[in-house]
Structure 1
Amino acid sequence: MPERVKSALQVELNETHEKQVDLKEKPVEKNNGIGIENFLHGKVMFIADATGFFAKVLIEKILRTMPGISKIYLMIRAKDKEDAKQRLKNEIVDVELFKCLKQKYGEHYEAFMCSKLVPVVGNVGTSNLGMEEDLASEIAKEVQIIVNSAGDIVFDQRAREFGWRNTYGFTKALGEMLIDKMRVEIPIVIIRPSGILSTYKEPFPGWIEGIKLVDPLILYYGKGMLTGFLPNPNNVVDLVPADMSVNATLAAMAKHVSMAKKAADIKIYHVCSSTSNPLVLEDLFTLIYKHFKSSPSIDSNGRPIQVSKMNFFDSMQDFSGQLWKQFANLPNQVSTTSTVSNTKLFKIIKVKEQAEYLGAIYLPYNFQNYWFDDSNVQGLIKSMSEEEKKKFGCDVKSIEWKDYIVNVHIPGLRRHILKEKGFSKM
């Protein structure tokens, strides 16, 4: 993006003792809040990676609660303008996530969406975002707010030469280093959500797109393909619903958009649960077990798949040994030359390799306990009015993990990812 975007606010995704007050002498002032609903009125926004999961939830929330926004430029990877328009229709306009807006605007829905959303061909991995220079300059003149939610999400590409476990964390860190150097020119807020899962409440519970963080484990376990895993069961797993991440992002933008003159300051918000509402891995797997015990998946023969409680292992060797016992409990039969046994052996090896692959991907995180300080988000919440807390709720303390995991997130996975018939309506 050209240097002209110097007034833009860039959002990078990556108990105190109170004095007693005599109310008769000094009335308590009403908290008018941050002004979240109005801060985008008439403004122009630019979103990188606009077809990503987080970006879609953000776009939906803005259009539903702040329709006064002038327009949103959506950077989309595409061959050309027509391809970008088609991706906008297929991956945003026609997506179920936006059904509340469809109900609100009816036959005028597509016209409303086209009046607010402007697709732009681009790619964060290329020079000048892969945008045409004239178009980039034109956009730079209009944009007041930039949201960058792009990232390299391939977790099995390593960056150990530079001291990082994978390219996801590495590229996020590089992005933060770069914008740190630019903060004198551009006011910046950094939002760091932890493991983003399905929506908690908005626009409806359980919407998800793509497989996130712990989801591969959930899906493999529900299919009976994973009965044990490697982590320390007492470690905290930091998860946060998508809509809470979006609400915190909007609140942070609203709070800092009026502080443009303090460009040298930079605020980092950890949208996370490990400190304020921790969930340990053993409890998570217990909740997963409870869900599939009461609502089992169905195998190819139409029979319910029975699950048992998750076993935890200290080493990859023990984990691999357990996988062989699980899938090849009759080793003599597996070694026969029959077609059935050979087919079974191939499936056993494939599933074992997939499970070991999962183990290797999660291994760097399994035996270290991470806690993230969310005091800035808690302070942000205190700045919000009661009405804003209702409309832009982002307090992870309000999450009831049992209900969310058992009745919201896993059913959302089974409906939106697995397309299971029994979960076609929620």
Structure 2
Amino acid sequence: MPIHLANDHKTGDGVALAKLYGWPNTYVFTKAMGEMLVGQLRGNLPVVIMRPTIVCSTLMEPFPGWVEGCRTIDSVAIPADMFVNSIIVAMKAHINDPNLTIYQVGSSHRNPVTFNELREFHYAYFTKNPWTDHEVTLNFQQMLFNLQKKLKIATKLVDLYKPYLFFKACNFTDTNSEKLLTNAREKDLDEEVFNFDPLCVNWEDYFINIHLPAIVKYLF
């Protein structure tokens, strides 16, 4: 798909420009532009595009729960080390393939975790591990300022995620990733090292015993 941007559009209004071309925000618009450019300019190079869902703390490597940042967690997720494994396996599988191949890498189709489950996991963990030793004293002005600040952030998040929360037109299947895994297994994939099968993740165990303790220890 050729990229043609309207010359008369205001250059400073990225969101409006994204919406003009059918994208809800600049995040997905620029990702799409990047993929289009790669497709147009790759020549005869083998190219693989990996599309992960929310990438969260590691399941196994370099150790369970390794994480450097946490902006959000969603009902679509993949541990970081599993996503890295999928990249490595895909690179090997397509090293001599002249085509462009796209992989959706996530768990939401074959091993989903719901928002209700996420709430239950968080409640179970913090009920058992309360932050009773963290006391904060705020005066009224501080509380009001913090509330206003959080309200602004929440409003921005609502605007950002609204298109995805109410988007029911398609299902983000990982058919290509499933085929990649099947083919790799037929060629004796070492799953101790390169596992990226979302079916192996027990979400309750992962969140309560790996992800949430890691977030508390390394970030909070």
Category of TM-score, reference length = shorter chain? 0.7 to 0.9
Distance 1:213 1:302, change over 3 A: closer
Mapping of residues 172-191 of structure 1, within 5 Å: 172-191=31-50
2:92 counterpart of 1:290: no
Partner in structure 1 of residue 4 of structure 2? none
Distance 1:297 1:250, change over 3 A: same
Per-residue CA deviation, residues 369-402 of structure 1 (Å, 9 max, x unaligned), is 4621212111111222445222100000111000
2:64 to 202, 205, 211: 205
Tell me by how many angstroms 1:258 deviates.
3.0
The TM-score normalised by the length of structure 1 is: 0.44
Mapping of residues 195-344 of structure 1, within 5 Å: 195-214=54-73, 237-259=75-97, 263=98, 265-298=99-132, 300-301=134-135, 340-344=139-143
Moved more, 180-189 or 276-285: 180-189
Residue identity matched to 2:129: S
Distance 1:186 1:389 in 2: 28
Q: Note if contact 2:46-2:96 (Cα within 8 Å) is conserved in structure 1.
A: no
Distance 2:120 2:49 in 1: 34
Q: Note if contact 1:381-1:389 (Cα within 8 Å) is conserved in structure 2.
A: no
Q: Note if contact 2:76-2:106 (Cα within 8 Å) is conserved in structure 1.
A: yes
Q: Note if contact 1:196-1:213 (Cα within 8 Å) is conserved in structure 2.
A: no
Distance 1:237 1:340 in 2: 36
2:210 counterpart of 1:408: yes
Residue identity matched to 1:238: V
Residue identity matched to 1:279: V
Partner in structure 2 of residue 161 of structure 1? 20
* Structure 1 segments unaligned to the other structure (5+ residues): 1-156, 215-235, 304-338, 419-426
Distance 2:103 2:76 in 1: 15
Partner in structure 2 of residue 359 of structure 1? 158
2:180 counterpart of 1:376: no
1:193 to 39, 47, 52: 52
Distance 1:258 1:342 in 2: 63
Tell me by how many angstroms 1:353 deviates.
3.3
Partner in structure 2 of residue 220 of structure 1? none
Distance 1:242 1:373 in 2: 19
The TM-score normalised by the length of structure 2 is: 0.81
Q: Note if contact 2:54-2:77 (Cα within 8 Å) is conserved in structure 1.
A: yes
Distance 2:182 2:81 in 1: 19
Distance 1:349 1:175, change over 3 A: closer
Tell me by how many angstroms 1:267 deviates.
1.3
Q: Note if contact 2:65-2:214 (Cα within 8 Å) is conserved in structure 1.
A: yes
Residue identity matched to 1:174: M
Tell me by how many angstroms 1:340 deviates.
4.5
Name the SS for the 2:190 alignment partner. helix
* Structure 2 segments unaligned to the other structure (5+ residues): 1-13
Q: Note if contact 1:196-1:212 (Cα within 8 Å) is conserved in structure 2.
A: no
Q: Which structure has the larger Rg?
A: 1
Tell me by how many angstroms 1:161 deviates.
3.0
Give the percent of matched residue pairs that are identical in Structure 1 and Structure 2.
36
Distance 1:298 1:256, change over 3 A: same
Partner in structure 1 of residue 11 of structure 2? none
Residue identity matched to 1:245: F
Q: Note if contact 2:25-2:160 (Cα within 8 Å) is conserved in structure 1.
A: no
Residue identity matched to 1:412: A
Distance 1:202 1:344, change over 3 A: closer
Name the SS for the 1:384 alignment partner. helix
Q: Which has the higher helix share?
A: 2
Distance 1:268 1:344 in 2: 47
Residue identity matched to 2:51: R
Distance 1:297 1:185, change over 3 A: same
Per-residue CA deviation, residues 142-187 of structure 1 (Å, 9 max, x unaligned), is xxxxxxxxxxxxxxx6332332222221111111111111343321
Distance 2:171 2:19 in 1: 23
Distance 1:349 1:394, change over 3 A: same
Residue identity matched to 1:297: W
Q: Note if contact 1:195-1:212 (Cα within 8 Å) is conserved in structure 2.
A: no
Name the SS for the 2:43 alignment partner. coil
Distance 1:258 1:343 in 2: 60
Per-residue CA deviation, residues 111-130 of structure 1 (Å, 9 max, x unaligned), is xxxxxxxxxxxxxxxxxxxx
Distance 1:293 1:357 in 2: 29
Mapping of residues 129-140 of structure 1, within 5 Å: none
